[in-house]
């Protein structure tokens, strides 16, 4: 039997005792309601911040993209922005489900965080989510007035499906924006739509995210055209990562998509990309947004933010050293 942390086991026992069919046997709207309902029961309170503001980002395609800005400083000076793309299999999740997490990141890291509420499937199938995140990232790089300070760099970040989106943003936009991508933070990312076997079988059921749940998410987002599974916006693991910005990759040992995150970190390292890889033993997928019920997940988050801060410090120091050497 794999190692399971005591606080994780408590949550798994609670979830197993809940009546009703599993998420993948219901509708997307029912699943969205379920995820929203979990927040007040299992997540930590948002806490205080100097500024939390909702904005609308132009998509360039006739619709706007809701977003939420978090800042720990009332009058921040020039600095980077962490663009957060929430998880939920491209089908569920929103600004509210990741509100506490984004606030914690802003408060601890000391940077402005902008949470992106991209369009969801099946109403808006692949590649709508990626298109919205690309548009939002390009907008952020222009230092829009809504942000409240000049933007000096971008940090794509996200959990699960959001980790997929962050990886794609890094691949597609690195070196193409008005500001540099300083680092990328991939939290238990789904980066291979074709993945089978391994952790997908080992943790197929009983650990919150299930293999059937992943199939359900993929079907709603990607449809039945398996040829799309290998697209650069769907499976970034299959594409070139040489020259990518520094990466912090976080996985959980009890996660059915654990092996995808491991493989992506390994590929980054093998191609010479500065990478910090961290795996939480005995932890489950989705832990970052249920830190109230799993207190040890807060420690995992703080460790990730320490690592990410190290990458950001390096990103600032390296150009200064190069300039001094000229």
Residues designated catalytic: 160, 255, 285
> Of all helices (H) and strands (E), which one includes residue 280?
strand 275-280
Q: Which helix (H) or strand (E) holds 116?
A: strand 112-116
In angstroms, the CA 54 to CA 240 distance is 35
How many other CB atoms sit within 10 Å of the CB of residue 303? 13
DSSP codes of every residue in 118-174: ---TTTS-TTHHHHHHHHHHHHHTT--GGGSS-EEEEEEEEETHHHHHHHHHHHHHT
Q: Which helix (H) or strand (E) holds 231?
A: none
Degrees, nearest 5: CA angle 192-59-165: 15
80 close to 111: Cβ distance less than 8 angstroms: yes
Examine residue 127 and say whether the peptide bond preceding it is cis (omega within 30 degrees of 0): yes
> What's the chain's Rg over C-alpha atoms?
19
DSSP letter (8 states) at residue 289: G
Mapping DSSP to helix (H, G, I), strand (E, B) and coil, where does residue 302 land?
A: helix
What pairs with residue 81 in β-bridges? 112, 154
DSSP string, 50-74: SEEEEEEEE-SSS-EEEEEEEESSS
């Amino acid at each position: 039997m794999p190692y399971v942390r005591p606080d994780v086991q408590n949550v798994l026992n609670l979830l197993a005792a809940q009546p009703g069919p599993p998420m993948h046997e219901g509708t997307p709207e029912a699943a969205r309601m379920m995820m929203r309902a979990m927040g007040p029961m299992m997540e930590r309170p948002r806490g205080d911040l100097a500024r939390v503001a909702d904005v609308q980002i132009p998509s360039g395609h006739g619709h706007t993209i809701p977003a939420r800005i978090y800042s720990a400083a009332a009058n921040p000076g020039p600095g980077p922005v962490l663009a957060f793309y929430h998880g939920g299999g491209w089908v569920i999740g929103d600004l509210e489900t990741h509100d506490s997490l984004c606030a914690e990141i802003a408060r601890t890291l000391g940077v402005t965080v902008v949470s992106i509420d991209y369009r969801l499937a099946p109403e808006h199938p692949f590649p709508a989510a990626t298109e919205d995140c690309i548009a939002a990232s390009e907008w952020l790089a222009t230092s829009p007035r809504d942000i409240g300070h000049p933007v000096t760099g971008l940090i794509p970040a996200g959990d699960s499906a959001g980790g997929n989106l962050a990886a794609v943003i890094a691949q597609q936009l690195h070196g193409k924006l008005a500001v540099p991508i300083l680092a990328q933070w991939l939290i238990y990312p789904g980066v291979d739509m074709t993945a089978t076997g391994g952790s997908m079988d080992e943790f197929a059921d009983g650990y919150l995210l299930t293999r059937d749940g992943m199939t359900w998410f993929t079907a709603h987002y990607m449809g039945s055209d398996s040829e799309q599974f290998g697209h650069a916006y769907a499976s970034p693991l299959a594409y070139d990562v040489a020259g990518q910005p520094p990466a912090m990759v976080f996985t959980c040992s009890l996660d059915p998509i654990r092996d995808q995150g491991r493989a992506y970190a390994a590929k980054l390292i093998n191609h010479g990309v500065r990478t910090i890889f961290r795996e939480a033993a005995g932890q489950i997928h989705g832990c970052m947004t249920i830190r109230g019920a799993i207190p040890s997940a807060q420690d995992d988050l703080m460790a990730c933010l320490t690592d990410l801060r190290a990458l950001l410090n390096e990103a600032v120091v390296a150009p200064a050293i190069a300039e001094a050497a000229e």
